[in-house]
Amino acid sequence: MSQLTIDASTTRPGLFLRRALQADAAVSAASGLLMALAAGPLSGLLGLPAALLLPAGIVLLPYAALLLWLAGRPVPSAGGVWLVIAANVLWAIDCVLVLVAGWFQPTGLGVAFVAVQAVTVLLFAELQYIGLRRIGR
């Protein structure tokens, strides 16, 4: 008797994409809360001004809500996901600018904090793109 394997990505279209959006939402919400609620203490540790960290954290909170809303759709809107991908790429570019433009003097921990964000959002953008391709958009 042969064993039948069922691929969840073919039986539930968009599952991979919804999971990628949910993971992005969780990380964005956690980062946003951290930066918004601890901008002052983080500023000293990271060598980045609280005036940068606080608004960046605040922006991430509605962004996380948008991600959860998109992830809650049976098949997330392609236009919405492309907007999310663009936002992630833009965030990564902004992170690189923070590190190389000379506007700030981040500490070693600050460089790591910003670099991890850049890599993470690019990873989410890639996963979201793969998710779109899997559902044929």
- Residue pointed to by tokens 């809107």: 77
What are 5-21's pLDDT values in tens digits?
434 444 476 899 999 99
Does the pLDDT of residue 2 top 80, yes or no? no
What are 35-63's pLDDT values in tens digits?
999 999 999 999 999 999 999 999 999 99
- Global pTM reads 0.86
Report how far residue 124's alpha carbon sits from residue 38's, in angstroms, rounded to the nearest whole number: 25
What are 57-92's pLDDT values in tens digits?
999 999 999 999 999 998 899 999 999 999 999 999
Q: What amino acid is encoded at 24 in this protein?
A: D
